[in-house]
Amino acid sequence: MEFGNEVMSYLQGFTYEEEAGNCSLFGSSENSTNIETVFINGIQIKKYVNEFWTSKQRQASSIHEISYRACFKPQLPRFFIELLSEIRDIIYDPFSGRGTTSIEAGLLGRKVVSNDVNPLSEILTRPRFVPPLIGDVAERLSLISIDQGLVPEMDLSMFFHERTLSEILSIRKYLCGRKESGDEDDIDRWIAMVATNRLTGHSSGFFSVYTLPPNQAVSLESQKKINEVRGQTPQYRDTKEIILRKTNSLLRNLTSSQKANLKVAGRSGLFINRSAAYTPEIGSDSVQLTVTSPPFLNIVQYSKDNWLRCWFNSLDGDEISNRITMAKTVEQWSTVMNSVFHELYRVTKPNGWVAFEVGEIKNRTVKLDEHVVPLGHSAGFECHGILVNSQEFTKTANIWGIRNMRSGTNTNRIVLFRKPK
Ligand SMILES: C[S@@+](CC[C@H](N)C(=O)[O-])C[C@H]1O[C@@H](n2cnc3c(N)ncnc32)[C@H](O)[C@@H]1O
């Protein structure tokens, strides 16, 4: 779309229509957008409240199904990518997490730039741009010999059966060796991504005994307590079989054109592990659209959640946790985001867009969306409004680490900025 006010009238008249697959440009009196006006630092900003993306909407691709704390639904970036960019435009996420924006952009034939201060993000994202054949994964796994004599640097027996642990250590050693010798290839990276995702969880589809959901890893001591309370000991899990099953599941509804799009996007894609405030690899005036969701204050403990995933991938979790933004107050958070907005302004094309998502925190006593507006302005962006996507509360609302049980809704707030020409 060429003009900002066309986008705004689109939002105003937006009605979700299932048969249209996505949306209709023609408003209906019943469902079209509710518009509220707020004044932030004396500037008039419109809030567009509607169900812009919904659980009824076209299903997300199975390739997204990698768990990560506070990830957003693929429908969120899809909404903005389809509305505000064209094929082969560059789509960026400075806080990429499991890579939802990048993967969705790749599926839709866009180019991608993905950054996260935690290198785990790239480990989880990049291999999915090169989806393998299941037979190739099976063949590679068959080459990994299991050494029962391997011993971990710490006691992990509260999570894994002895034989399972030998398998995990053997796969880890094999992957490290391939990397060190320079032989690591796409299939190795795929196996590392899936194994990382299957380490711990709460069903027999994971390597561990019952524990927290797969995107959170409790401490060794807490796991001992969970085992005591539940009266459980880790059972043997066939790790290679689990990796193959998850591979099948990730690939199950990927079409050949989506695979081709992902491969093209992966080849030209830029994957960075830096603070979002300093990304010199990204060219100035190059990004058409950023869709992102930053860490919200110190609600989600990304480093604590990911310590076992970091261990498996030989990443220094302590060093990473020092670099992750964990602001205690809105003032501290705003200072970091102020620098991020200046960097976003540099990389965004004139007339390009930023969709900056903040959830509902502390029962709306902190309105992060309204704090974000002046930050974008001071960097030079124009604020084109705040989209409030209001959905009926579902189980998945929990993945935000944020709930709004009172109103029974799962709400995302997205502040939409545009860089002037
Ligand atoms: C809310 S999550 C993003 C989730 C993502 N939208 C997804 O769907 O997976 C925020 C991410 O910001 C990363 N992060 C925290 N501080 C950062 C910083 N200063 N620069 C870049 N990334 C950072 C965390 O590692 C985490 O992955």
Beta bridge partners of 62: none
Q: Where is average pLDDT lowest: 16-25, 125-134, 165-174, 257-266?
A: 16-25
Specify the higher pLDDT residue, 389 or 243: 243
Q: What tokens appear for 211 in the block?
A: 């524990």
294 CA → ligand 1 middle, Å = 6
Nearest atom in ligand 1 to 275's CA: 20
Nearest atom in ligand 1 to 324's CA: 16
pLDDT tens per residue, range 156-181? 999 999 999 999 999 999 999 999 99
Closest residue by Cα to atom 18, ligand 1, is 275
Specify the higher pLDDT residue, 231 or 306: 231
Q: What is the mean pLDDT of residues 46-73?
A: 86
Q: What is the mean pLDDT of residues 383-399?
A: 67
Mutation to probe ligand 1, out of 63, 95, 120, 315 (largest number of atoms < 8 A from CB): 95
Report residue 324's pLDDT band, with 50, 70 and 90 as the boundaries. confident
Full-model pTM: 0.90
Specify the higher pLDDT residue, 130 or 12: 130
Which percentage of the chain shows pLDDT scores above 70?
A: 86
Helices 330-347, 368-379: axis angle to 10 degrees equals 40
Mutation to probe ligand 1, out of 292, 324, 328 (largest number of atoms < 8 A from CB): 324
Closest residue by Cα to atom 25, ligand 1, is 118
Nearest atom in ligand 1 to 118's CA: 25
Is pLDDT at 350 greater than 60 in this prediction? yes
Nearest atom in ligand 1 to 357's CA: 6
**pLDDT score for 57:** 66
Report residue 359's pLDDT band, with 50, 70 and 90 as the boundaries. confident
Q: What is the mean pLDDT of residues 107-119?
A: 97
**pLDDT score for 394:** 44
Residues with CB under 6 A from ligand 1: 68, 70-72, 94-95, 97-98, 100, 116-118, 121, 275-276, 293, 295, 302, 324-325
Nearest atom in ligand 1 to 96's CA: 5
Q: What is the mean pLDDT of residues 351-361?
A: 89
Report residue 303's pLDDT band, with 50, 70 and 90 as the boundaries. low
341 CA → ligand 1 middle, Å = 15
How far apart are the C-alpha atoms of 286 and 110, rounded to whole Å?
13
Mutation to probe ligand 1, out of 116, 305, 402 (largest number of atoms < 8 A from CB): 116
Length of the chain: 421
Which percentage of the chain shows pLDDT scores above 90?
A: 69
Beta bridge partners of 348: 287
pLDDT tens per residue, range 131-148? 999 999 999 999 999 999
pLDDT tens per residue, range 182-204? 999 999 999 999 999 999 998 99
Residue whose pair of structure tokens reads 């709306």 in the numeric block:
364
Measure the CA angle with vertex 258, ends 255 and 260; round to 5°. Answer: 110
**pLDDT score for 16:** 56
**pLDDT score for 51:** 86
Nearest atom in ligand 1 to 336's CA: 19
Closest residue by Cα to atom 19, ligand 1, is 275
Q: Where is average pLDDT lowest: 50-64, 319-333, 392-406?
A: 392-406
170 CA → ligand 1 middle, Å = 30
